[in-house]
Amino acid sequence: MLDANDRMRPGLHFDEQGLAQFSVWAPKATFVEISLVDKKLRLPLTETAYGYWTIQTNQIKEGDLYQLILDRKTERPDPASLSQPEGVHGSSQALNLNDYSWTDTNWQNTALESYIIYELHTGTFTPEGTFAAIEDKLEHLKQLGITAIEIMPVAQFPGERNWGYDGVAPYAVQHSYGGALGLQHLVDRCHENGIAVILDVVYNHIGPEGNYFNDFGYYFTSKYNTPWGEALNFDDAYCDAVRSYFKQNALMWFKDFHIDALRLDAVHAIKDFSPVHILREIKIAVDQLNQETGRNHFLIAEVDLNDTRFIDPLAKQGYGMDAQWIDEFHHALRITAGEPATGYFADFKGISDLAKSYTDAYVYDGQYSPHRKKHFGVKAEENEGKQFVVFSQNHDQTGNRMLGERTSQLHTPEMQRLLAGAVLTAPYLPLLFMGEEWSETNPFQYFVSHTDPQLAEAVRKGRKKEFADFHLQGEAPDPMSMETFENSKLQWNLLEDPLHQNMFRYYQKLIHLRKHHPALSSLNRKQIEVTVDEQNNTLLVHRWQEERHVLCLMNFSSTNQEIQLPFLHKNWNILIFSGDSQWNGHLKIAENYTDQTMVVLPGQSLLILE
Active site residues: 265, 302
Handedness of CA 142, 191, 256, 185 (dihedral sign): positive
Count CB atoms within 10 A of the CB of residue 136.
Answer: 12
Residue 342: alpha-carbon gap to chain centroid: 24
List, in sequence order, every residue forming a beta bridge with 155; answer none if it has no partner. Answer: 173
- Tell me how far apart the alpha carbons of residues 196 and 190 are, in angstroms, rounded to a whole number: 7
- Tell me how far apart the alpha carbons of residues 230 and 251 are, in angstroms, rounded to a whole number: 25
Residue 196: alpha-carbon gap to chain centroid: 14
- Tell me how far apart the alpha carbons of residues 158 and 174 are, in angstroms, rounded to a whole number: 9
What are the Cα distances from residue 31, in Å, to 13, 43, 54, 55?
A: 21, 11, 11, 13
Annotation: binding site: 263-268, 327-331, 395-400
317 contact partners, CB below 8 Å, separation of at least 6? 309
366 contact partners, CB below 8 Å, separation of at least 6? 375, 376, 377, 378, 379
**Kind of pairing between the strands at 46-47 and 52-57:** antiparallel
**Kind of pairing between the strands at 388-390 and 429-433:** parallel
User: Over the range 217-234, which residues count as b (16 or more CB within 10 Å of their CB) and which as e?
Assistant: bbbbbeebebebebbbbb
What are the helix and strand counts (H, E) for the chain?
A: 17, 32
Phi, psi of 45, rounded to the nearest 5 degrees: -95, 160
For the chain, what is the largest distance between any 2 Cα atoms, rounded to a whole number of angstroms? 84
Phi, psi of 22, rounded to the nearest 5 degrees: -135, 140
- Tell me how far apart the alpha carbons of residues 22 and 10 are, in angstroms, rounded to a whole number: 7
Nearest residue to 428 (alpha-carbon basis) of 359, 331, 506: 359
Q: Supply angle C-alpha 70, 76, 79, rounded to 5.
A: 100
Give the chain's length.
610
Phi, psi of 43, rounded to the nearest 5 degrees: -120, 115
